[in-house]
Amino acid sequence: MLSKRLETLTPSYTLEISSKIRQLKDLNLDVIDLSIGEPNFNVPVRAKLYGIESLNNNYTRYDAVTGIKPLKEEICKKLLKENNCTYCPEDIVVSSGAKHCLTNTLLALTNPNDEVLIPIPYWVSYPEIVKIVNAIPVFIHTSKDNSFKIKAEDLSRCISKNTKALILNNPNNPTGSIYTKNELEEIVEICYKNNIYILADEIYEKICYKDNFTSIASISNLAKDITITINGFSKSTNMTGLRLGYTASNSSIAKAISSIQGHSVSHPCITSQYIAYGALKECNSDINQFVNEYKLRRKLICTKLDSINDISYIKPYGAFYVFIDISKLKNTLSYNGSFSLEFCSKFLDTYNVAVVPGIAFGLDDYIRISFACDESVFLEGVDRLDKFINSFS
């Protein structure tokens, strides 16, 4: 009796891992969790104070569907200053997290059976959200040689008369790869020519180990017109549980997104919106500190991984993950179905370390580990990975 759309959904590998971790922890086992996509830092105090003050002022009632005015104004200032994009508050819709922004945007843009292009490897929820809105995910194959970034020819090959949008995650989860300005220009040119919208998920833009990050909407006015930039406060200001994100787009798309949001959730939590406002106004120095810490961790984890035989990895230039190629170990492990799933499941069972199988991102020869945790935790986890791999021979 349930909706047919549920039949198409893939079970969440990450939720499966979390439930297994809980079971092991209940047995008092010393579990190392490197599967997490959540910073281990807290929300900066100065941001929290804005939330507390808003509660004390009883700002707890219904407000504008697209977000509170001061937050939208601050987002526009940020987009101009940091991303070189001019938007007005009418172009912004604040929602309950980047995931919610993506769902709203796809609902606003797609008709049933429209195709949405998704480069592999992808963030786990993209294909599922596309299916939920009754559109069709079409995967773009990329190559390791190009750090899994799409090239013009990869993109062109996948376009059909039904293609409606491309989801571009930059910096990328799981690879940490970042597109150059030239690469983005090529993507814009093809999308513009073929009437394809670009859903630019830039949630990791602040966690960037390169000097300059380019927002695709800043490439040109044409780029800005076809791009819906999606961003949020989960990764930069650690507000994962406060659920806040936003879209920046042309005002007619913003209006469409607003209609959908108005009839589904009205607007995101007012307190979270004030905290996000505080984060934008006052917390850039906190963010710099988090990023400096990630930089140190990245160096440490990469050095440690360099010393392990039979694996290689994509050097991350953004986000807080390392995507590790385990294909050389394929012959040493017996498995039915997914190799990466078997690898991760054995690793968790024998060494109590949780990592995410590459199959969750569409590439079965890989695993993803996160360094959004304490140094002692990921160093111990990588030590155990070394021991696990050595145990094969």
- Shortest spacing between CB 321 and ligand PLP, in angstroms: 9
- Shortest spacing between CB 370 and ligand PLP, in angstroms: 10
Kindly tell me which of 89 and 232 has the beta carbon lying closer to ligand PLP.
Answer: 232
- Shortest spacing between CB 123 and ligand PLP, in angstroms: 4
Residue nearest to ligand PLP (CB): 97
Question: Residue 247 interacts with ligand PLP (CB under 6 A)?
Answer: no
Site for ligand PLP in 24-43 (CB under 6 A): 37
Question: Residue 201 interacts with ligand PLP (CB under 6 A)?
Answer: yes
Q: Which stretch binds ligand PLP (CB under 6 A): 94-102, 132-140, 212-220, 268-276?
A: 94-102
In whole angstroms, what separates CA 392 from the centre of its chain?
33
Burial class (CB in 10 A: 0-12, 13-18, 19+), 325: middle
- Shortest spacing between CB 319 and ligand PLP, in angstroms: 7
**E strands within the chain?**
32-33, 92-95, 115-119, 136-140, 163-169, 197-201, 227-232, 245-248, 312-314, 321-325, 353-354, 356-357, 366-370
Question: Residue 66 interacts with ligand PLP (CB under 6 A)?
Answer: no
Burial class (CB in 10 A: 0-12, 13-18, 19+), 22: exposed
Q: Which stretch binds ligand PLP (CB under 6 A): 5-13, 18-26, 92-100, 137-145?
A: 92-100
Structure-block tokens of residue 18: 């979390």
Q: How far apart are CA 274 and CA 233, in angstroms?
A: 12
- Shortest spacing between CB 308 and ligand PLP, in angstroms: 25
Structure-block tokens of residue 65: 């569907």
Question: Residue 232 interacts with ligand PLP (CB under 6 A)?
Answer: yes
Site for ligand PLP in 136-195 (CB under 6 A): 169, 173
Closest CA to 217 of 176, 172, 168: 168
β-pairing verdict for 321-325 and 366-370: antiparallel
Q: How far apart are CA 123 and CA 14, in angstroms?
A: 11
Q: Which stretch binds ligand PLP (CB under 6 A): 95-103, 191-199, 295-303, 324-332?
A: 95-103
Applying CB under 6 A, among 89, 97, 278, 357 the residue interacting with ligand PLP is 97
Kindly tell me which of 104 and 352 has the beta carbon lying closer to ligand PLP.
Answer: 104
Q: Which stretch binds ligand PLP (CB under 6 A): 23-31, 93-101, 187-195, 300-308?
A: 93-101
Kindly tell me which of 119 and 278 has the beta carbon lying closer to ligand PLP.
Answer: 119
Q: Position of tokens 């054995």?
A: 346
Question: Residue 198 interacts with ligand PLP (CB under 6 A)?
Answer: no
Question: Residue 99 interacts with ligand PLP (CB under 6 A)?
Answer: yes
Element (H, E) at 69: helix 69-83
Q: How far apart are CA 94 and CA 101, in angstroms?
A: 8
3-state secondary structure of 196: coil
213, 178 Cβ separation under 8 angstroms? yes
Applying CB under 6 A, among 39, 119, 121, 245 the residue interacting with ligand PLP is 245
Burial class (CB in 10 A: 0-12, 13-18, 19+), 299: exposed
Residue 211 has a CB neighbour count (10 Å cut-off) of: 5
Residue ranges that bind ligand PLP, judged by CB under 6 A: 37, 97-99, 123, 169, 173, 201, 203, 232, 234, 240, 245
